Amino acid sequence: MILFEWGTYNALSTLKQAALLGTRITEIPPAVLSRRLPSGYYESYKKLSEEYFTSIIAHGPYYNLSSEKGLKGHLSAIEKATLCGAEIYNYHLGRRVGDDLNYHLDVLKKFSEVNNDIIYSPEPATNIGEFGTLDEIEELVKAAKEEDIKIIPSLQLENIFLNELEVYEKDDLDEASEKADVDWWLKIFKRMDKISDYIMHFRFSQVIGLKYGKRFYKKRVPLGKGYPPVDPLVEALSTYLVENATRGGFKKVLFVYTGLPEVKYRDLIDLYAMIMKNSIDKLMSKESQVEYGEFYKTMSEEEEG
């Protein structure tokens, strides 16, 4: 049992270094799954990842699922992810097509035909005009469960911030930041917890916004240089994580840092430390601790039994 599993994306060449830093999960990058690599690459990725990490996630390529070519690309990527030992396939839903719910449910059925053991994890929309509000993801998750497809929401936190607070439409990151307080985040976590039967799958990097014509684009930046604000998010995460670990019904939690390649390990460790520091007082409170006398009394009774 651990408060949460943490890590970032790694190519084969950085798996050992990432493990030595103490990360517990790894994510297969989209580039690995969109290229034709020797089969030995995927087999080596699986072998080393299973040796070094507790969980392996795959991030699907940025192919448009509304096209036949894009769908075929994802199906191929799932085959490669399977060779790499992936337990979760994270992917983008993409542009709206009309009857989006049924369309993406059919997509998941095709995914499941390739691998029905992997857990599929659709990510919130990354821009205006894309499918993937929290309401829509909630509907898709529930519909997929009825088809016995393994599925959990992918909680890419900056996407949720941008989408749910209408930054794409208003282009006002500061106004959204004022609304994204601890309570706002906790409501989202608790809501998504209800439909995350297997695992809570968090993802995060800070971003800034770039406007081109009518479209808003997010650009990843180093930790502390962008949006959403880190402090309320870290407080909300630590509150959720401690409650998950101490209130019964423990659920495995994964946290993937998706920041810029050149600073991702430093940022990840800084973020991990912030979350853990915020968790210490909560974990050490009298409410959370088991009193030693009661603990040893229980142990003694079990031994006698």
Listed range (123-132, 193-202, 262-271) with the worst mean pLDDT: 123-132
Q: What is the DSSP letter of 184?
A: H
pLDDT bin (cut points 50, 70, 90) of residue 113 is very high
- Looking at residue 289, its pLDDT comes to 65
pLDDT at 143 over 70: yes
The model's pLDDT over 248-280, given as tens digits with 9 standing for 90+, comes to: 778 999 999 999 999 999 999 999 999 999 999
Write out the E strands in the chain: 5-9, 25-28, 55-59, 88-92, 119-123, 154-156, 199-204, 207-212, 215-220, 252-257
pLDDT at 6 over 80: yes
Region of 133 (left: φ > 0; alpha: ψ -120 to 50; beta: rest) is beta
Neighbour tally for 150: CB within 10 Å: 20
The Cα 180–Cα 305 span in angstroms is 51
- In whole numbers, what is the pLDDT of the chain averaged over residues? 93
The model's pLDDT over 87-106, given as tens digits with 9 standing for 90+, comes to: 999 999 999 998 999 999 99
- Looking at residue 294, its pLDDT comes to 57
The three-state secondary structure class of 24 is coil
- Looking at residue 269, its pLDDT comes to 98
Structure tokens that stand for 267 in this block: 């940022």
The Cα 169–Cα 175 span in angstroms is 12
Strands 88-92 and 55-59: parallel
pLDDT bin (cut points 50, 70, 90) of residue 210 is confident
The model's pLDDT over 283-302, given as tens digits with 9 standing for 90+, comes to: 987 676 655 555 555 555 65
- Short-list 51, 3, 9, 50, CA closest to 156: 9
Q: Tokens 């880190």 identify what position? A: 230
pLDDT bin (cut points 50, 70, 90) of residue 242 is very high
Q: Please, which contacts does 261-266 make with residues 24 or more away whose CB atoms are closer than 8 Å?
A: 263/222, 263/223, 264/8, 264/9, 265/8, 265/18, 265/21
- Looking at residue 304, its pLDDT comes to 53
pLDDT bin (cut points 50, 70, 90) of residue 303 is low
- Looking at residue 247, its pLDDT comes to 82
- Looking at residue 10, its pLDDT comes to 98
- Looking at residue 171, its pLDDT comes to 85
Contact yes or no for 118/82 (Cβ under 8 A): yes
Domain 5-303 has CATH 3.20.20.150: yes
The Cα 204–Cα 216 span in angstroms is 19
Global pTM exceeds 0.95: no
Query: Any idea what the Cα angle at residue 133 is, between residues 131 and 139, rounded to 5°?
Result: 90
**Mean pLDDT, residues 152-159:** 98
The Cα 209–Cα 215 span in angstroms is 10
Listed range (58-67, 230-239, 292-301) with the worst mean pLDDT: 292-301
Q: Tokens 């997509």 identify what position? A: 107
